[in-house]
C-alpha cells in the first residue's frame, strides 16, 4: 500500500575507485574472488556482479592487470559487443585462493559505514510525517476507536519508541503491521557495509522486500541503470517482527567462522523501518533486561556493536521500535525504563457496539449469514459469564468454529444458539477440579 510519495534521495553511484573510500587491496581481492568464484571474464558482467559502474570496474581491472593478477585474452566476437576478455593469471589464481582463505566474501562491493551513515540521514524514519487519513487507510481493515489513531499518529510521525499494552487478542500485532503499511515509501538498503576492513552483510531477502524496478522509456535504459548506487537495493521500509524467540544474542553481530564475514543483527537490518517486539514478557530474558539493551539506542540514536576482536564501534540507530505486551507496564518495567519509552498506548478490547461491527464484518468476509437470535443469546447469556469483557479475536474464533461444524455436518453455513454454544465451549477452558 503506497500512501505517500517516495521522496528519498537515492545514493549516488561512485565515479572512481578513490571516491569509494574502501581499501584498494580489499576492492582488488573482491574483484578477483568474484571472477574466480563466478567464472567471469567480461567487464560488463563483472560490473553487475560487484555492483559498480563499468568505468569504475574497468579501473579495478586495470589496477589488477598492473599487479599481474589479470591478463587480457584478446577481443571476443561480436556477440559480446567486441568486449575485451580478462582472465586470472597464475599469480591471480593464487591470490584469489589466498584471499578466499581470509574471507569467503565476494560479489557486491561493500559500502563504507561512514558513507552509509549519509544515506541513513537522507531516508531517516524520523523524516516521515503521517496524516490521520494515511494511518486510517493503512488501518482500514481494523475497527479502532478514534482516540487510538489520535495517539498512534504522533507517535509514528515522531519515529520514537512505542509501547502498546493491554489484554491479549485485541489487535496489537495487527496495529503494528498497520503502522508498517502506513509508511509506504521506499528506501535504499546496502547489500553489505564495511568497517575496519570487515564485511557486514545487511540486505536480507527474508527481512527486506525489494521494490519492483520503475518502468522507463527503453531508449533510456543506459541512463536508468546508473541512476543510483547498485550496491544498494531499493526496498520497502523494512519491518522486523520478533516474539518470544527474541534473545539478547540476536542483537549482536553474527560472525560466520567459515566465511569469516559478519551478518548484521536484526536492529541494523531494520534501519529506516520498524522493529516490533511482540509478546514482550514471553522471552527468556526479563523485559527489563531487554529494554536495558535498547536504552542507549533509544536515547542517543546510535547502537554499539563488537567485532570478534573485541573492538567496539558505533552504528546509526534509525528505527521505530514498537514494544507490544499483554502485561501491565508497571509489572514488568521500572520507572527509569518506562521513562525511556516515549509513547505508551493502551489497547483495550472493543465496546459492545464495536464488537458487533467486528462480528458483522467477519461474518460477511466468511460468508456466514447473521442471525439475530444467536447474537441476542451470545450477548445476553454467554458474555455475562465473563463479565461482558469483549476481545477483538473472539468474533473470528466463534465464526470459524461454527463454519468448521457446518462443514463437518454437511450443512449450509449458519449460526444458531446451539452452534454458538459449541463454539463458545472451545474458546475457554473451565477451571475444573483435577482428579488424581
Sheet of strand 239-242, all strands in order from the earlier edge strand to the far edge: 239-242, 274-277, 320-325, 162-165, 343-346
> Quick one: pLDDT at residue 339?
84
pLDDT tens sequence across 270-325: 999 999 888 888 888 888 888 888 888 988 999 999 999 999 999 999 999 989 89
Q: Which of 63, 82, 108 is the last residue of a domain?
A: 108
340 and 397 share a domain?
A: no
Asked if residue 189 belongs to a domain, the reply is yes
Per-residue confidence (pLDDT) for residue 69, from 0 to 100: 97
- The DSSP secondary structure of 237-303, one letter per residue, reads PPEEEE-TT--GGGGSPEEETTTTEEE--HHHHTTTSEEEETTTT-SSS-HHHHHHHHHHHHHHSEE
| Domain range enclosing 360 | 352-427
Residue 218 has pLDDT above 50, yes or no: no
Higher pLDDT, 347 or 140: 347
pLDDT at residue 221, as a whole number: 36
Mean pLDDT within 412-433: 86
- Residue 115 pLDDT > 80: yes
| Same-domain status, 381 and 423 | yes
Residue 135 lies inside a defined structural domain of this protein: yes
CATH classification at residue 241: 3.40.50.300
Mean pLDDT confidence for 250-275: 93
Q: Do residue 68 and residue 127 come from a single domain?
A: no
* pLDDT > 50? residue 225: no
Whether 96 and 118 map to the same domain: the answer is no
Q: Point out the domain boundary residue: 92, 108, 124.
A: 108
pLDDT exceeds 60 at position 1: no
Per-residue pLDDT, 105? 96
Burial 318-354 (b: 16+ CB within 10 A, else e): bbbbbbbbbbebeebbeeebeebbebbbebebbeeee
Q: Are residues 102 and 32 in the same domain?
A: yes
In this prediction, residues 253-270 reach a mean pLDDT of 94
- pLDDT for 136 equals 83
pLDDT of residue 170: 80
Whether residue 113 is predicted with pLDDT greater than 90 in this model: the reply is: yes
Among the listed ranges 144-148, 278-282, 389-393, 424-428, which one has the minimum average pLDDT value? 144-148
Please answer whether residues 290 and 242 qualify as being in contact, where contact means their C-beta atoms are separated by less than 8 angstroms: no
- The answer on pLDDT for 434 being more than 70 is no
Residue 313 maps to a domain? yes
**Residue-by-residue DSSP string for 353-422:** HHHHHHHHHHHHHTT----HHHHHHIIIIIGGGGTT---THHHHHHHHHHHHHHHHHT--S---HHHHHH
Residue 1 located in a structural domain: no
Does 292 lie in the same domain as 173?
Answer: yes
Residues 71 and 182 in one domain: no
pLDDT of residue 370: 95
Q: Is the pTM of this model over 0.95?
A: no
Residues 184 and 327 in one domain: yes
Of the residues 54, 75, 108, the one at which a domain ends: 108
Q: How far apart are CA 354 and CA 144, in angstroms?
A: 8
Confidence of residue 109 (pLDDT cuts 50, 70, 90): very high
CATH number, residue 91: 1.10.10.10
Q: 98: which 3 cell numbers?
A: 589466498
Please say if the pLDDT value at position 4 is more than 60: no
Q: Is the pLDDT of residue 106 over 80?
A: yes
- Give the per-residue pLDDT at 430: 67
Q: What span, in angstroms and rounded, lies between the C-alpha atoms of 157 and 120?
A: 17
Residues 356 and 323 occupy one common structural domain: no
Flag whether pLDDT at 48 surpasses 90: yes
Distance, CA of 96 to CA of 102 (rounded, Å): 10
In a domain, 8, yes or no: no
**What is d(CA 332, CA 329) in angstroms, rounded to the nearest whole number?**
5
Has residue 432 been placed in a domain?
no
Give per-residue pLDDT as tens, 160-200.
889 999 888 787 778 877 887 888 788 999 999 999 999 99
Q: What mean pLDDT, rounded, does the chain reach? A: 88
Shortest CA distance to 270 belongs to which of 245, 303, 225?
303
Instruction: With beta carbons less than 8 A apart as the criterion, state whether 243 and 278 touch.
Output: yes
Regarding whether 319 and 203 lie in a shared domain, the answer is yes
Percent with pLDDT over 70 in the chain: 92
DSSP line for 155-169:
HHHHT--EEEE-STT
pLDDT grade for 254, boundaries at 50, 70 and 90: very high
Q: Which residue has the higher pLDDT, 32 or 159?
A: 32
**How would residue 355 be classed by pLDDT, with cut points 50, 70 and 90?**
very high
- Determine the pLDDT at residue 79: 59
92 and 130 co-located in one domain = no
Question: Which of 170, 173, 171, 148 minimizes the C-alpha distance to 389?
Answer: 170
CA dist 182 and 290 (Å) reads: 27
CATH number for the domain that contains residue 419 = 1.10.8
Residue 169 located in a structural domain: yes
Q: Of the ranges 220-224, 250-254, 273-277, which one carries the lowest mean pLDDT score?
A: 220-224
Query: Do 240 and 152 fall within a single domain?
Result: yes
Domain count, the chain: 3
Within-domain flag for 140: yes
Amino acid at each position: 500500500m503506497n500512501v505517500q510519495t517516495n521522496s528519498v534521495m537515492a545514493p549516488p553511484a561512485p565515479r572512481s575507485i578513490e571516491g569509494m573510500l574502501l581499501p584498494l587491496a580489499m576492492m582488488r581481492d573482491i574483484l578477483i574472488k568474484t571472477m574466480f568464484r563466478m567464472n567471469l571474464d567480461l567487464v560488463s558482467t563483472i560490473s553487475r556482479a560487484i555492483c559498480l559502474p563499468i568505468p569504475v570496474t574497468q579501473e579495478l581491472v586495470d589496477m589488477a592487470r598492473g599487479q599481474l593478477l589479470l591478463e587480457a585474452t584478446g577481443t571476443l566476437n561480436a556477440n559480446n559487443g567486441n568486449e575485451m576478455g580478462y582472465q586470472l593469471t597464475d599469480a591471480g589464481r593464487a591470490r584469489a585462493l589466498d584471499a578466499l582463505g581470509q574471507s569467503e566474501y565476494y560479489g557486491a562491493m561493500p559500502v563504507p559505514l561512514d558513507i552509509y551513515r549519509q544515506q541513513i540521514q537522507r531516508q531517516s524514519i524520523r523524516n516521515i510525517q503521517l496524516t490521520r487519513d494515511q494511518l486510517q487507510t493503512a488501518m482500514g481493515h481494523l475497527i479502532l476507536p478514534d482516540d487510538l489513531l489520535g495517539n498512534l499518529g504522533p507517535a509514528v510521525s515522531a519515529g520514537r519508541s512505542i509501547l502498546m499494552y493491554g489484554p491479549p487478542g485485541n489487535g496489537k500485532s495487527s496495529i503494528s503491521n498497520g503502522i508498517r503499511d502506513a509508511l509506504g515509501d521506499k528506501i535504499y538498503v546496502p547489500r553489505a557495509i564495511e568497517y575496519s576492513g570487515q564485511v557486514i552483510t545487511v540486505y536480507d531477502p527474508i527481512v527486506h522486500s525489494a521494490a519492483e524496478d520503475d518502468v522507463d522509456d527503453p531508449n533510456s535504459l543506459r541512463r536508468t541503470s546508473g541512476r543510483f548506487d547498485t550496491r544498494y537495493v531499493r526496498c520497502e521500509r523494512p519491518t522486523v517482527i520478533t516474539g518470544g524467540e527474541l534473545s539478547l544474542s540476536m542483537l549482536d553481530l553474527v560472525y560466520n567462522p567459515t566465511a569469516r564475514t559478519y551478518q548484521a543483527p536484526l536492529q541494523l537490518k531494520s534501519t529506516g523501518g520498524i522493529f516490533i517486539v511482540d509478546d514482550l514478557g514471553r522471552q527468556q530474558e526479563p523485559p527489563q533486561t531487554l529494554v536495558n539493551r535498547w536504552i542507549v539506542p533509544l536515547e542517543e540514536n546510535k547502537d554499539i556493536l563488537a567485532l570478534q576482536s573485541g573492538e567496539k564501534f558505533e552504528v546509526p540507530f534509525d528505527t521505530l521500535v514498537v514494544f507490544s505486551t499483554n502485561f501491565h507496564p508497571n509489572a514488568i518495567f521500572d520507572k527509569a525504563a518506562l521513562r525511556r519509552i516515549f509513547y505508551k498506548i493502551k489497547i483495550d478490547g472493543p465496546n459492545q457496539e464495536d464488537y458487533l461491527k467486528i462480528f458483522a464484518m467477519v461474518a460477511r468476509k466468511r460468508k456466514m449469514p447473521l442471525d439475530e437470535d444467536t447474537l441476542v443469546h451470545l450477548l445476553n447469556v454467554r458474555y455475562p459469564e465473563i463479565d461482558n469483557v469483549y476481545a477483538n479475536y473472539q468474533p473470528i474464533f466463534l465464526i470459524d468454529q461454527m463454519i468448521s461444524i457446518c462443514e463437518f455436518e454437511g450443512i449450509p453455513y449458519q449460526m444458531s444458539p446451539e452452534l454458538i454454544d459449541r463454539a463458545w465451549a472451545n474458546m475457554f477452558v473451565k477451571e475444573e477440579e483435577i482428579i488424581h
